[in-house]
């Protein structure tokens, strides 16, 4: 009886040690990928900031400036660019961002541009129509793909297929904090371009810069590039958040495995001690007969 119990405990210890090796390896891989993802976030910022400042200069430096990208419409259809992961084992990373997406889409007539296998599964399960299904694996999405997606979304917004565009992703704040957020892309917020609520538009070096063929056309040509930069930045943030969440989850799993091994080792030692005591008792009893 004791021998069978000891064998079962030893098997469980061996199984937990194997699990611990796997979770520890996954933790180290996630840490390595996290460093690369953080470097991508930092590298992407200057390009985005340059485009954003150019948009501000055109909008603020042109008298009577107007653009269809500022047009407020009656909302009939909405487009959501939703970024989630390709795999699980990342704590609540996927569940949290998809829960936010579901809440925002409720009661609307949405289209979805999914980045990540989990987003594709989410959309198919709910029958949400796709803008495109070319970016099913978030890990394989490149900066070029982000700009292609932005051009598609921009073109269809101008054509009236949908009246507003949002990106839903996970913001990386720290290794222990990843927060799902939604950001409006189109139509553009005039306060964002003109410098905040209540601010009077100020001409920035009027007449010093000449835009050809016109400021409005240059502005509209930059918009897809700007949105591509936002989508790429959101993707980089999401990848960093996913790796941070996975690292934390695997670290917790490794700690739990160590605790279980320690607990099972204690049980094994007790069972072994009990078996030794029983054998000694049987030997003593046999010698006294």
pLDDT tens for 185-240 read 888 876 655 554 444 444 444 456 666 777 778 888 888 888 888 888 888 888 88
Residue 275 CB partners (closer than 8 Å, separation 6+): 2, 3, 6
Tell me the CATH number at 50: 3.40.1380.10
Nearest to 155 by CA among 132, 129, 136: 132
Any domain includes 132: yes
Q: What is the pLDDT of residue 203?
A: 44
In total, how many domains does the chain have? 1
Identify the domain containing residue 144 by its residue range: 26-248
pTM of the model: 0.79
* Residue 122: band (very low, low, confident or very high) from pLDDT cuts 50, 70, 90: very high
Look at residue 265 and tell me if it is in a domain.
no
Taking the alpha carbons of 233, 40, 142, 28 in that order, is the dihedral positive or negative?
A: negative
Residue 127 lies in a domain: yes
Whether the predicted pLDDT of 26 surpasses 70: yes
Q: Is residue 111 part of a domain?
A: yes
* Predicted local distance difference test score (pLDDT) of residue 57: 76
In terms of Cα–Cα distance, which of 60, 85, 66, 213 is closest to 140? 85
Q: Is residue 283 part of a domain?
A: no
Tell me, yes or no, whether 258 lies in a domain: no
Quick one: pLDDT band at residue 34, thresholds 50, 70, 90?
Answer: confident
Is residue 275 in some structural domain? no
CA distances from 39 to 33, 44, 79, 250 (A): 10, 9, 29, 22
Contacts of the segment 218-221: beta carbons below 8 A, 24+ positions apart = 218/58, 219/55, 219/58, 219/59, 219/65, 219/67, 219/69, 220/67, 220/68, 220/69
Is position 1 within any domain?
no
Question: At 186, is the secondary structure helix, strand, or coil?
Answer: strand
Out of 46-50, 109-113, 131-135, pick the least confident: 46-50
């Amino acid at each position: 009886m004791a021998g069978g119990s000891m064998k079962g405990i030893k098997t469980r210890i061996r199984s937990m040690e194997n699990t611990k090796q796997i979770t520890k390896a996954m933790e180290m891989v996630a840490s390595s990928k996290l460093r690369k993802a953080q470097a991508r976030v930092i590298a992407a910022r200057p390009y985005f900031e340059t485009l954003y400042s150019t948009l501000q200069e055109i909008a603020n430096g042109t008298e009577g400036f107007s653009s269809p990208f500022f047009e407020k419409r009656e909302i009939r259809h909405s487009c959501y660019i939703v970024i989630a992961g390709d795999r699980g084992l990342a704590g609540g990373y996927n569940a949290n961002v998809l829960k936010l997406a579901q809440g925002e889409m409720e009661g609307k007539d949405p289209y979805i541009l999914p980045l990540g296998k989990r987003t594709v599964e989410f959309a198919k399960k709910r029958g949400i129509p796709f803008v495109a299904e070319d970016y099913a694996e978030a890990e394989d999405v490149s900066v070029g793909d982000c700009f292609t997606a932005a051009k598609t979304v921009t073109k269809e917004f101008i054509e009236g297929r949908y009246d507003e565009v949002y990106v839903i992703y996970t913001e990386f704040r720290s290794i222990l904090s990843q927060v799902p957020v939604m950001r409006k892309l189109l139509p553009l917020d005039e306060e964002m371009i003109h410098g905040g609520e209540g601010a009077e538009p100020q001409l920035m070096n009027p007449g010093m810069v000449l835009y050809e063929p016109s400021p409005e056309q240059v502005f509209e040509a930059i918009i897809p590039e700007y949105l591509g930069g936002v989508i790429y930045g959101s993707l980089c943030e999401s990848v960093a958040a996913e790796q941070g969440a996975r690292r934390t989850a695997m670290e917790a799993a490794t700690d739990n495995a160590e605790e279980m091994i320690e607990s099972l080792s204690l049980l094994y030692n007790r069972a072994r001690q009990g078996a030794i005591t029983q054998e000694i008792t049987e030997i003593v009893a046999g010698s006294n007969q």
